[in-house]
Structure formats: C-alpha cells, structure tokens
C-alpha cells in the first residue's frame, strides 16, 4: 500500500472498515442493504463479496432489531458495526441504544462491555426527503454511557472508524453524508490523532470558529473568505462530541477573545449550547464578546427545495463574526 492516497470520504470509510475486518475476524457489519448493494451510499461496497455473508449481514428493515442483535453479539465477544441507513431512521432503535447499549457496562459493574459502533449518516445538503436529513447527535451526546464522534475529512474517516471499532465502549459514529464525495489525502503511515481529541485545522488570530462534521468545510470556507477582508479566523474541528475535548478550544479563545460555534442541528439545546457554556465558564475574562452560535433553525428539517435556507452557510458564519466585533 502507498504511504498516502487521495480518496473520497466514502472510500476512506470503506477502506477503514476493510482494514478493521482484516485485523479482527470478530468484526461484523450489519444493516439494511449493506451487503449485496454495498449500502445506499456504497460505504460497504465489496465487503460482503470479500468477507462473506456471515460477516457482512443484510438485515431486515428493523433498526431496533439491528441494535438488539448487536447487543447480544457484543456480549458474546463480537464487534458489530451497525449501519443506520439515514439519520432519521435511528429513532426506532433509540430505546435499544439508550436503555441497553449505553447502560449495560455500568449496570454490570464493568463486567460486560459492548464494543458496538453505530454508523449514522447525518445532516443535510443532499436534497433528500423527510427523515433523510437530520442532526440527532445531541440526543446521544446527552446520554451517559455513549461516546459520540464525527469525522470531517477522508483522513479522519479512515482512522476514526478503525479506532472506534477497536474501542471497548459503544460509539455513535456520525458521518456527514454530504461530504462523502469530497476528496482528501489519507496518510497510511502517519500516527493517528487520538479518537477523542479536537484539533485546530486552520490557525488564526482574530476569532475562533468551532465546528464538527459537515460544518468544518463551511467554517474553513468562511475563514478563507474572511482572510480576503483582512480578518484571521482560527477553525477548530471538535471531532469528538462526547466526551468533548475542550483544551484546544480554550487555548484558542484565550488568544482570540472571540468564539463562534457552528452546527446544522437546531440551536435549542444543541451541542453549541454546551460548548458556549464551557467557554464562558473557563475563558470569561478573555472574552471580548459573548460566544455566538450559528445553527439550524428550531423547526423540523424543511423540504429539500428550501434546505439551503435552513442550513448554516458561509455568509451566516461571517455575519456572526461581524456581530462579535460589534460588541
């Protein structure tokens, strides 16, 4: 294998899943159409052909059954990777996730582990219909016993899916579906960043923009546009939503004095609320303005034709930065 390769995020996830299956024959993939079809986004394309129907399993259309089966498999020593076909389809499995997956380790006094990865394509930007473009990450980040991560580029996708599968904790793996086709370099020889770590993806001095998943690209585009106007924005990719890794955020905000948090989910009780609260608690005397949020609106996700009015974009991020400078 070459030391580095340019891949789409979808292909990087596929390659990471393949490496995990080669490394450990206890790794199984389960979900609707993940086998012969290779998933609706083709993330598992070719894996059933190469690893067989016993390890890449086409399940019934029953999310509760998928997760319930994965619980039993994990207790017996397997490492199931469950695909939820679209974000809005996860709710039939919500009971299993928060009542069983999140709690068995604690309930058993640490005797039982559930190394389950639940892959969820999330967010908008693909022009889909109802229940196909949602951002449910806050439900899971709020639930003790679950860890929640989100990749934003192909290199992270490749490494983070393998790290999640190797983890003995249950992990909700949020994949920004509109970024599946974006390309980037995957470095196979580099040391991977720890799974539960945020990082600065663009250095800056005038304000800190914090994002994750699909909004990282939007934040980077906003920073590039701001640079043309002489304003330097630092961009941080959270990567891990539970637990949050706030140290790089605090360090950045103490230097810039301003913070804007960006995500697609509605603002009310979203991840941005927690990030803003923590920044205010830890960096109060460094702040030149309140921490501002740029989010989806507090409405059900709209029909596909008007989703661009709902989703945060470059202009809304730059407007928040301008408002921060207005204080």
Active site residues: 132
Tokens 């959270």, located at residue:
238
Tokens of 119: 């892959």
The span from the CA of 140 to the CA of 118, in Å, is 11
Contact, 113 vs 105, CB < 8 A?
Answer: yes
Q: What is the DSSP string of 13-78?
A: HHHHHHHHHHH-TTEEEEETT-SSS--TT-TTTTHHHHH-TTTEEEPPS-HHHHHHHHHHHHHTT-
At a CB cut-off of 8 Å and minimum separation 6, what does 110 contact? none
Q: What are phi and psi of 109, to 5 degrees?
A: 65, 30
Tokens of 84: 């939820």
Looking at the chain, how many residues does it have?
Answer: 327
- CA geometry: angle 62, 64, 67, nearest 5 deg: 110
Largest CA distance in the chain: 60
């Amino acid at each position: 294998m070459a030391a580095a390769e340019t891949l789409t995020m979808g292909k990087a996830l596929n390659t990471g899943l393949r490496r995990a299956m080669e490394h450990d024959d206890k790794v199984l993939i389960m979900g609707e159409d993940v086998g012969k079809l290779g998933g609706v986004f083709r993330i598992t394309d070719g894996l059933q052909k190469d690893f067989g129907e016993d390890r890449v399993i086409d399940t019934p259309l029953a999310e509760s059954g998928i997760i319930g089966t994965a619980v039993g498999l994990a207790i017996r020593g397997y490492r199931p990777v469950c695909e939820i076909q679209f974000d809005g389809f996860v709710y039939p499995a919500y009971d299993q996730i928060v009542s069983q997956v999140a709690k068995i380790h604690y309930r058993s006094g640490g005797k039982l582990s559930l190394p389950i990865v639940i892959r969820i394509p999330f967010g908008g930007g693909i022009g889909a219909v109802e229940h196909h473009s949602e951002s449910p990450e806050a439900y899971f980040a709020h639930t003790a016993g679950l860890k929640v991560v989100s990749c934003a580029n192909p290199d992270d996708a490749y490494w983070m899916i393998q790290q999640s599968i190797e983890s003995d904790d249950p992990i909700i793996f949020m994949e920004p579906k509109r970024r599946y086709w974006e390309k980037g370099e995957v470095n196979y020889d580099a040391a991977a960043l720890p799974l539960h770590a945020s990082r600065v993806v663009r250095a800056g001095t005038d304000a800190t923009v914090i994002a994750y998943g699909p909004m990282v690209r939007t934040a980077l585009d906003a920073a590039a546009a701001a640079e043309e106007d002489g304003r330097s924005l630092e961009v941080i990719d959270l990567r891990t939503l539970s637990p949050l890794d706030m140290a790089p955020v605090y360090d950045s905000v103490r230097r810039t004095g301003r913070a804007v948090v960006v995500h697609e989910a509605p603002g009310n009780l979203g991840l941005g609320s927690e990030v803003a609260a923590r920044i205010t608690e830890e960096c109060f005397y460094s702040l030149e303005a309140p921490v501002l949020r740029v989010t989806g609106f507090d409405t059900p996700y709209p029909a596909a034709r008007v989703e661009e009015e709902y989703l945060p974009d470059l202009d809304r991020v730059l407007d928040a930065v301008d408002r921060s400078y207005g204080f």
